[in-house]
Amino acid sequence: MTAYVFITGGVVSSLGKGITSACLGAILEARGLRISMIKLDPYINVDPGTMSPFQHGEVFVTHDGTETDLDLGHYERFVRTAKGGRHSNFTTGRIYETVIRKERRGGYLGATVQVIPHITDEIKRCVEMGAGDADICLVEIGGTVGDIESLPFLEAIRQMGIELGHDRVVYVHLTLVPYISTAKEIKTKPTQHSVKELRSIGIQPDILVCRSEQPLPMEQRKKIALFTNVQQKAVISAYDADDLYKIPGMMHEQGLDEIVARQLGLDLQAADLSEWEAIVEAKQNPTSEVDIAMVGKYMELKDSYMSLVEALQHGGIHTRTRVNIHFIESQSIERNGTECLSGMDGIVVPGGFGDRGIEGKIETVRFARENGVPYLGICLGMQLAVIEAARNLAGLTGAMSTEFRRDTPHPVVALITEWQTGTGKVEQRDEGSHLGGTMRLGAQSVSLAKGSLAASTYGATTIEERHRHRYEVNNNYRAQLEKAGLRFSGTSVDDLVEMVEIPGHPWFLASQFHPEFTSNPRDGHPLFNGFITAARHHHKGVLPKVREA
């Protein structure tokens, strides 16, 4: 039967519950267990798909096309057996939506529907469904203890502790232990109050993970244990690490996984963390370094591109390269030109929605193409590469996506329903329909042309990658664009453009899909490995060779 580890947070948000959960999952997996992971989010949105990246960071897309919280990206990067999907992320909005629909159908047989037991029962049902057949399911509860929004989730996991028993449930609570520099003191009181708040609703934590700037001294660990009714050995010091991938080793050294295993009565094999040790060693001993410009529109919040940033670092790990990412607001290029891109070894234009900064991104693509700088376009970054080629290689003045300009004379990117008539012209449609069911989501098969840079980079002619977009390259312009010098090197099963490249350029490759969602530090990803390798060659002034797949 599946055992459960519930991870809660207190004092303040953004302490790293997702990283803590992912790292614990990685260690338990290294001890031979099958792991599943779930994120419970207290906001009323049904999913994060319509939320602004400024408010919530990136939207992570799972294999089955579910738009989820960004913490699921942490889970998949750290735990191979924790493949997320529809049953891995539940929000308050989704829980209530399900209960209300059931009530409307008469599913409660006329009963008064209440938070307890109906909402909490639905939460427990979702958790058990998401756990699947895993040995251990790690469940992270979003928000902070004391928030009114989180109470139904906390009540549900309290009930599960009673129903399943202490040998099948572990409660882990993450808190902040601040250091007051003026007083030169480490303060444990916030942790004490957070645990008190948790205990007031019936949950006694078994393990405390204490976030701090420096390792927590034994004196403070003893004090925290005494005032929170937690064993001293179960007070784990989660101090700031200079490398994210050191954290599994840091937690293992303090026995976090062993405490969990003993409470659940599990006799496990020793943890093999050699892969994580190799990752840390590779990051600490690079043989070269590159400067990569990432030109986007959400640069004030780096979490908006979390998976992409990590994927670039994974490319650095697998090529032993220190990757220095320079975040550049695309609107600044519109104002000041492309001078800031000079000296860069590679340029990335990521995905995004909305027209802000679009012309700056198009100028970025042109700079990379004309100056032979390795270019990687992701989703919108590919569409803009097509638009730039249409304007400046094919001479299609005013070429644009209908997402940004409805009256463009050359809709080289548009909704399928706009160009599938074969006329190449934009058909009239309901202005609100772009928010309907037109999003292409999740993993789909992609065919790569033999002899292309795409096929060479992947070492294959058939791949599978995850998507999140609405607009497609207009097939009616493909012949004209290919004649002008743009190669369509990847297509979907229904002949939609998936990858483009420019023959003769040192390394110019763009994808309609999001390869960053499947990159992880241990396995890397061929597209990011290839891009960083090309950036290294550009740094040294050596052009990469393209081999036939």
CA-closest candidate to residue 491, choices 525, 457, 455, 527: 455
Q: How many CA atoms lie within 13 A of 478 on its CB side?
A: 19
Q: Which residues pair with 445 in a beta bridge?
A: 464
Asked if 500 contacts 528 with a C-beta cutoff of 8 angstroms, the reply is no
Catalytic residue among 252, 514, 538, 539: 514
CA-closest candidate to residue 69, choices 79, 58, 78, 80: 58
Q: Tell the burial category of 336 from Cβ atoms under 10 Å away from its Cβ (0-12, 13-18, 19+).
A: exposed
Count CB-CB contacts under 10 A for residue 549.
Answer: 17
Asked if 330 contacts 364 with a C-beta cutoff of 8 angstroms, the reply is yes
Helix intervals (H) in 118-217: 120-131, 151-164, 189-200
Phi, psi of 295 (to 5 degrees): -110, 110
Asked if 141 contacts 153 with a C-beta cutoff of 8 angstroms, the reply is yes
Q: Which residues pair with 38 in a beta bridge?
A: 139
Per-residue tokens: 219: 């004196």
Asked if 336 contacts 365 with a C-beta cutoff of 8 angstroms, the reply is no
Indicate if 388 belongs to the active site: no
* Region label for 171, one of left (φ > 0), alpha (ψ between -120 and 50) or beta (otherwise): beta
CA-closest candidate to residue 33, choices 249, 269, 253, 264: 269
Catalytic residue among 29, 418, 516, 525: 516
Q: How far apart are CA 189 and CA 179, in angstroms?
A: 11
User: How far is CA 246 from each of CA 23, 224, 234, 270, rounded to the nearest angstrom?
Assistant: 9, 25, 20, 18
Indicate if 379 belongs to the active site: yes
> Nearest 10 degrees: CA dihedral of 359, 467, 300, 401?
20
Say which DSSP state 83 is in.
-
Say which DSSP state 497 is in.
E
Indicate if 514 belongs to the active site: yes
The residue ranges of DSSP E strands in 388-486, in sequence order, are 400-401, 411-414, 440-448, 462-469, 472-473
Q: How far apart are CA 234 and CA 256, in angstroms?
A: 7
Catalytic residue among 126, 379, 410, 537: 379
CA-closest candidate to residue 139, choices 125, 157, 151: 157
Asked if 19 contacts 209 with a C-beta cutoff of 8 angstroms, the reply is no
Asked if 95 contacts 127 with a C-beta cutoff of 8 angstroms, the reply is no
- Active-site amino acid positions: 379, 514, 516
